[in-house]
Amino acid sequence: MPDADEHALLAAAQRDDVAAFGQLVRLQQGRVRGFLRRLCGDHALADDVAQERFLLAWRRLRDFRGEGSFGAWLCGIAYRRFLQSQRRQRRETVLNEAHAREWQEAGPMLETPALQQRALERAMTHLNSQEAAAITLNITLGYSHAEVAGILGLPLGTVKSLINRGLPKLRAILTSSAGVSHEDQ
Helix 113-124 to helix 18-40 angle (10° resolution) is 80
Q: How far is the CB of 98 from other proteins (least distance, A)?
A: 21
Q: Which of 5, 102, 111, 184 binds other proteins (CB under 8 A)?
A: 111
Which residues inside 15-34 make contact with other proteins, applying CB under 8 A? 18-19, 21-22, 25-26, 29-31, 33-34
| CA 119 to chain centroid | 15
Q: What are phi and psi of 15, to 5 degrees?
A: -95, 25
- Comparing CB distances to other proteins, the nearer of 59 and 101 is 59
Tell me the DSSP string of 81-110: HHHHHHHHS-HHHHHHHHHHHHHHHS-STT
Residues that bind other proteins (CB under 8 A): 18-19, 21-22, 25-26, 29-31, 33-35, 37-38, 47, 50-51, 54-56, 58-59, 80-81, 84, 108-111, 113, 116-117, 120, 135, 139-141, 167, 170-171, 174-175, 178-179, 181-182
